Amino acid sequence: MPSNRYIVLFLKNYIERIERVPDYNLDDELIEFYVSLAATTEVSFAPSGMCYKTYVLDKEQYTRIVLREEQMLISSGTTGFQTWEAGLRLADFFTEHPDIIRGKNVVDLGAGCGLAGFACAAMGASRVVSTDFSDAVLKLLESNRKINHGISDKIQVSELDWVDTEACAKLSKEVDVIIGGDIAYDPSIVPTLVGALKAMVLSSQQVVYVTTTIRNPETFELFLELIDDTGVLGRSVMDLTETKMTALCHPNPSADIRLVLITRN
């Protein structure tokens, strides 16, 4: 039986090779397995293939965000070095509906490269706290904050461990909107995520927006069930799969996207 380290290294190489094959989509269950194993296995990686991407939010005003990202889907044992489809949709949603976050204080959970939170800042949010847990991702996030000079003063990068519900509650005291793009993909962390949301949503005035790609329907159903089980959180679901997005991205026909709105009952 090969060691976990060997399996992680093998899958990393395999995934990188498959990503280079035109018009070939990786199996979502394989990605889930790799991410879960890599998160619990000591393996040294050197991030490679970094590039700069420009996201234009408003073509007339040329409102744009520049992010340094990894070209591969998975690097250094984390998915946080690249903006995923659900994160694009979340940023696009707020670009299309800026009134939701204009003048509001926003917290971005699992911010990764930072696109969704940065988009909120660019579209008029008063303050954005972009959070993550990985040291490497936080360093990239801070670097991306600094290169976006027009909005950098409105953005704070902060470490947040969802297990620490006291820290979650403290962070959300003056927050109006909580967002997260593709943060409910792993069934092993969904209970922790819902626990964090329960601690953070302190009043009926606060709203949570979470986009997710439906890779495993059971994982998505678990997310919804655990929200219901809190007894204090309510939720509604929007299907964004075929919603016409115009600001940032064109819908990916193979991506099944949902937007979950969560409030306190």
The 10s digit of each residue's pLDDT in 155-193 is 999 999 999 999 999 999 999 999 999 999 999 999 999
Check: CB of residue 243 under 8 Å from CB of residue 213.
no
Q: What is the pLDDT of residues 210-229, one digit of tens each?
A: 999 998 999 999 999 999 99
Model confidence at 146: pLDDT above 50: yes
Q: Would you list the domain boundaries of the chain?
A: 1-44, 50-264
Higher per-residue pLDDT: 45 or 167: 167
Output the pTM of the full model.
Answer: 0.80
Band (pLDDT 50/70/90 cuts) for residue 3 is confident
Q: What is the pLDDT of residues 74-112, one digit of tens each?
A: 444 445 578 888 999 999 999 999 999 999 999 999 999
Q: Residues 33-55: what's their mean pLDDT?
A: 71
Question: What pLDDT is stored for residue 11 in this prediction?
Answer: 81
C-alpha span between 196 and 242 (Å, rounded): 30
Question: What pLDDT is stored for residue 160 in this prediction?
Answer: 98
Question: What pLDDT is stored for residue 220 in this prediction?
Answer: 97
Q: Residues 112-119: what's their mean pLDDT?
A: 96
Token pair recorded at residue 53? 């991407």
Mean pLDDT of the chain: 86
C-alpha span between 88 and 73 (Å, rounded): 14
Pairing relationship of beta strands 105-109 and 127-132 according to DSSP bridges = parallel
In three-state form (DSSP H/G/I as H, E/B as E, the rest C), the secondary structure along the chain is CCCHHHHHHHHHHHHHHHHCCCCCCCCHHHHHHHHHHHHCCCCCCCCCCEEEEEEEEECCCCEEEEEEEECCCCECCECCCCCCHHHHHHHHHHHHCHHHCCCCEEEEECCCCCHHHHHHHHCCCCEEEEEECCHHHHHHHHHHHHHCCCCHHHEEEEECCCCCHHHHHHHCCCCCEEEEECCCCCCCCHHHHHHHHHHHCCCCCCEEEEEEECCCHHHHHHHHHHHHHCCCEEEEEEECCCCCCCCCCCCCCCCCEEEEEEEEC
CB atoms within 10 A of CB 41: 15
Higher per-residue pLDDT: 50 or 234: 234
Check: CB of residue 38 under 8 Å from CB of residue 77.
yes
Model confidence at 19: pLDDT above 90: no
Question: What pLDDT is stored for residue 246 in this prediction?
Answer: 61
Q: What is the pLDDT of residues 183-207, one digit of tens each?
A: 999 999 999 999 999 999 999 999 9
Q: Residues 42-64: what's their mean pLDDT?
A: 73
- CATH no. of 50-264: 3.40.50.150
Is 7 exposed, middle or buried, given 0-12, 13-18 or 19+ CB atoms closer than 10 A?
middle
Range with the lowest mean pLDDT among 59-73, 123-137, 214-228? 59-73
C-alpha span between 200 and 109 (Å, rounded): 11
